[in-house]
Amino acid sequence: MCDFNVVKQRIDDLTKNSTAASAEIEFSHSQSVLSWVLRLKPDADSALRIAALGHDVDRSFGVRVQRSDFDSYDEFKKHHALRSAKIIVALLTELRCSDDVIKKTKYLIEHHEVGGQGDADVLKDADSLSFFDNNVEIYLQLYPRDFGKKVVFMYERLSSHAKSLISSINFKSKEMERIVKNIIQELES
């Protein structure tokens, strides 16, 4: 049945049971993106809420695709977004969601890295804010060489309103807050 809570339970089961290297944050990141979406847009519809929960769901299936498998960072990101959209479309079809919900959710997930029409920019902002709020520590542990570039990518794609919300984030350590804020300060100078 295409009820938001039923869809959420199914996506939560996937993200909680992730086998990827980043498994320990897949569930918390998905919940955190939903929280940021609801903070940015309290009346978010079910397509946007489902897209928030499921935008990275491909990472819950085994090996995470690697940047080195692709010619460019954009191609790598596009592959990830299309793969996640396909998994969520299959789930929503199985749960007999309406064509409108499926179409909008698919669009939002496919565009969550770059933004686009309608709510795609809300999802992109929420995803980046959650990166700073929830993912930075594990990202630094797993991908130390890419960390600086990742922070720049996640910050630069934020809207100006979302950039202003970075200061409200409680980083898990003062050291991480200092590292991230230094990178941002350098970008802004």
Binding site residues, Fe ion, CB under 5 A:
56, 127
Q: Shortest distance, CB of residue 87 to Fe ion, whole angstroms?
A: 14
Q: Strand, helix or coil at 19?
A: coil
Residue 66 or 189 having the CB closest to Fe ion: 66
Q: Read out DSSP for 84-117?
A: HHHHHHHHHHHTT--HHHHHHHHHHHHTTTT--S
Residue 2 or 61 having the CB closest to Fe ion: 61
Q: Shortest distance, CB of residue 113 to Fe ion, whole angstroms?
A: 9
- How far CA 30 is from CA of 24, 96, 134, 135, 184, in Å, comes to 11, 22, 10, 11, 24
Q: Shortest distance, CB of residue 29 to Fe ion, whole angstroms?
A: 6
CA atoms within 13 A on the CB side of 97: 25
Residue 2 or 152 having the CB closest to Fe ion: 152
Q: Shortest distance, CB of residue 184 to Fe ion, whole angstroms?
A: 19
CA proximity to 47, closest of 103, 87, 113, 131: 103
Residue 97 or 123 having the CB closest to Fe ion: 123
